[in-house]
Homo-oligomer: A and B are copies of this chain.
Amino acid sequence: MYPNSISNLIESFKMLPGIGEKTAERLTFAILETEEENIEFFSKSLQEIKNKIHRCPICNNLTEEEICNICSNEERDNTLCVIEDVKSLFLFEKMKVFHGYYHVLDGLISPIDGINPEDIGIEKLLERIKNKKYNEIIFAFKPSIEGETTSLYIKKVLGEEQIKFTQLASGLPMGADIEYIDSLTLERALSDRKILE
């Protein structure tokens, strides 16, 4: 029914998460009404994502440079934050709450899903920690069994080294209504309770 190039663009939008037939059609019609130079820019951006972006060989961050701008910045704190994906890195950077270096894993260890240490690139992280003395290694994974498995595994393998390992605190989110909190979170908030000083 549609001319080929219109169907193709609808199909392209439908590959994206959360975009079904109707939305894909709506977006395609919006593109048809967009100025030529903007469509050119959109098309070129997609090409460049494909051609220019690669993983930083040190930390696995996405970058266009040889080494990403975080790894090549020598002014940052000598602390290493280990995260489960590159989205976490951008989130941390956007919130400006951390000023050290990152190491991006390819997910978390999950034996039940058949994901073993070698599948998430642990070897490269272990090498990195052994070769450079960081003041502290922070595990910033989502609170989950997979997160704990992964941090415990890394800590165990590096057991002989004199390294300070920490993980993000779990507990009540700021502003949370205790009435609506789930029991696991409440249990953790209680067991990790903190002395008032």
Q: A: which residues have CB within 8 A of B?
A: 1-6, 8-9, 11-12, 15-18, 25-32, 34, 36, 38-50, 52-53, 62-65, 87, 90, 93-94
Residue among A17, A36, A44, A46 having the largest count of chain B Cβ atoms under 10 Å: A46
Assembly CA distance A43 to B17 (angstroms): 17
Give A102 Cβ to nearest chain B Cβ, in Å: 13
Closest CB in chain B relative to A56 CB, distance in Å: 10
Contacting residues, chain B, for A34 (C-beta < 8 A) = 15
List, in ascending order, chain B residues with CB within 8 A of A46's CB.
9, 12, 31, 39, 42-43, 46
Q: Verify A53–B6 contact, CB threshold 8 A.
A: yes
Shortest A83–chain B CB gap in Å is 14
Contacts of A31 in B (CB 8 A): 16, 46, 49
- Determine whether the beta carbon of A49 is less than 8 Å from that of B32: yes
Q: Give A93's nearest chain B residue, CB to CB.
A: B1
A27 and B16 form a contact (CB under 8 A) = yes
The answer to whether A5 and B53 have CB atoms under 8 Å apart is yes
Chain B residues with CB under 8 A of A94: 1
Closest to A51 in B: B5
CB-contact partner of A42 in B5, B15, B64, under 8 A: B15
Partner of A4 from B4, B5, B32, B64 at Cβ < 8 Å: B64
A183: min CB distance to chain B, Å? 30
Chain B residues within 8 Å of A29, by CB: 87
* Interface contact B1-A90, CB-CB below 8 Å: yes
Question: What residues on B are CB-neighbors of A49 within 8 Å?
Answer: 5-6, 9, 28, 31-32, 39
Which residues of chain B are within 8 angstroms of A39 by Cβ–Cβ distance?
46-47, 49-50
A-B contact pairs, 16 of them (CB 8 A): A3-B52, A3-B53, A3-B65, A4-B52, A5-B49, A6-B53, A8-B41, A8-B45, A9-B45, A16-B31, A17-B27, A25-B90, A32-B49, A39-B46, A40-B47, A43-B50
